[in-house]
């Protein structure tokens, strides 16, 4: 059997009946999946082959947690944030490409040529599905699959470049399941940085070393 | 979007402002400001509606442990209670930091 690895922020095309939850599934979730059968991998361990995923609704607060079985996945159904930076923008209708977060994307892309990066959040979901999920107030959620450490000065410089296009760029530094906000690292007045992990959030004095720990 | 307000009787005035957290999905900003009032006011703006009771529980526990007197502003972008607790802990660390 094919063994498929997924990471937080990956998108999975599913068959609606394969989605399940410990909670009662609300009507909006079923409607949403029927329209766009795409779920987002959440942070967390896959216990007994159950991959934690989330469903996105129309409203910002509409998020619903559930699972899909890894045995049901096919590698061609996984859309990574990194795969979305190629050829996906041109396919959106012009009116959608005028939204600030989507309009900023092709301007930001050349700045990240030397990074292994991807796009998540509402813009990533829209690029993957064509569904109108981005809003005029949406941030641009970027993921960097970290490979080298940046100093505070380098981080400030990079964020200033990414944030010059009229939209807030949220740049998350990730390594496997772990991740932290580059903005927090750049601006923090605290000694610690919040790291999101598969076992929940924790504070760390050295986020670069912490995310590389197993 | 929902705006929530809480108030606690407290007695340990803070001496300096602190700001922790970030504007990002699943995260929040926490700002403590010194106050001349004899209680702590907490104003929360959250993208996730319907969690007043959860906030009440988080804050009850926080003020039972740290009865600080401050004006507290929280801007929440759909964070989990675990992230909220850590951000409050981090704000307390920043407050105690002598730098």
ipTM comes to 0.86
A54 shares contact with chain B (CB less than 8 Å): no
Q: Identify the three-state secondary structure at position A63.
A: strand
Q: Do residue B48 and residue A172 have CB atoms under 8 angstroms apart?
A: no
Query: What number of other Cβ atoms are within 10 A of residue A170's Cβ?
Result: 25
Query: Which chain B residues contact residue A141 at CB under 8 A?
Result: 24-25
Which sequence positions of A are flagged as catalytic?
A: 139, 141
Pick A190's closest partner by Cβ from B49, B83, B94.
B94
Q: Chain A: nearest CA to B98, how far in angstroms?
A: 11
What is the per-residue pLDDT for A192? 94
Q: pLDDT value at position A66?
A: 97
Strands B39-46 and B71-77: parallel
* Domains identified in chain B and CATH numbers: 2-96 (3.30.230)
Mind listing the pLDDT tens digit for each residue in B71-87? 999 999 989 889 999 99
Judge: B22–A181 Cβ closer than 8 Å, yes or no.
yes
A59 touches chain B (CB under 8 A): no
Q: Chain B contact for A203, CB < 8 A?
A: yes
CA distances from A83 to A79, A89, A177, B39 (A): 7, 12, 18, 52
Interface test with B, best of A54, A61, A122 (most B CBs within 10 A): A61
> Given this model, what pLDDT does residue A165 score?
95
Q: How confident is the model at residue A1 (pLDDT cuts 50, 70, 90)?
A: low
Q: Which of residues 88-147 of A touch B (CB under 8 A)?
A: 121, 139, 141
- Each residue's pLDDT tens digit, A52-105: 999 998 877 788 999 999 999 999 999 999 999 987 788 899 999 999 999 999
Dihedral (Cα; B77, B82, B84, B85), 10-degree rounding: 180
Rounded Cα distance between B53 and A41, Å, is 28
pLDDT at A188: 86
Interface A–B counts its CB contacts (< 8 A) at: 63
Chain B residues touching A200 at Cβ < 8 A: 82
Q: Are A168 and A132 in contact (CB under 8 A)?
A: no
Helix, strand, or coil (residue A61) = coil
């Amino acid at each position: 059997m094919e063994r498929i690895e997924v990471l937080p922020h990956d998108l999975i095309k599913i068959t609606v009946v394969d989605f399940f939850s410990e909670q009662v599934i609300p009507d909006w979730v079923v409607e949403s999946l029927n329209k766009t059968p795409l779920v987002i991998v959440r942070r967390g361990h896959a216990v007994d082959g159950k991959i934690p995923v989330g469903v996105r609704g129309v409203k910002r607060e509409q998020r619903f947690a559930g699972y899909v079985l890894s045995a049901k996945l096919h590698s061609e159904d996984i859309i990574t944030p990194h795969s979305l930076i190629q050829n996906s923008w041109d396919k959106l209708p012009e009116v959608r490409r005028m939204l600030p977060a989507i309009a900023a994307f092709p301007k930001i892309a050349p700045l990240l040529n030397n990074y292994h990066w991807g796009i998540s959040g509402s813009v990533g979901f829209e690029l993957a599905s064509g569904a109108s999920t981005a809003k005029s107030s949406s941030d641009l959620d970027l993921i960097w699959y970290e490979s080298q450490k940046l100093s505070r000065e380098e981080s400030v410089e990079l964020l200033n470049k990414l944030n010059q296009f009229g939209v807030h760029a949220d740049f998350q530094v990730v390594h496997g399941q772990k991740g932290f906000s580059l903005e927090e690292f750049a601006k923090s007045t605290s000694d610690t940085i919040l790291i999101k992990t598969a076992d929940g959030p924790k504070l760390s004095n050295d986020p670069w070393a912490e995310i590389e720990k197993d | 979007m929902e705006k929530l307000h809480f108030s606690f009787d407290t007695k340990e005035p803070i001496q300096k402002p602190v700001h922790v957290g970030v504007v990002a999905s699943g995260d929040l900003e926490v700002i403590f400001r010194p106050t001349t009032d004899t209680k702590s006011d907490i104003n929360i703006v959250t993208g996730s509606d319907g969690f007043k009771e959860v906030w009440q529980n988080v804050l009850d526990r926080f003020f039972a442990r740290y009865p600080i007197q401050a004006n507290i502003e929280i801007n929440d972008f759909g964070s989990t209670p675990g992230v909220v607790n850590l951000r409050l802990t981090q704000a307390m660390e920043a407050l105690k930091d002598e730098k």
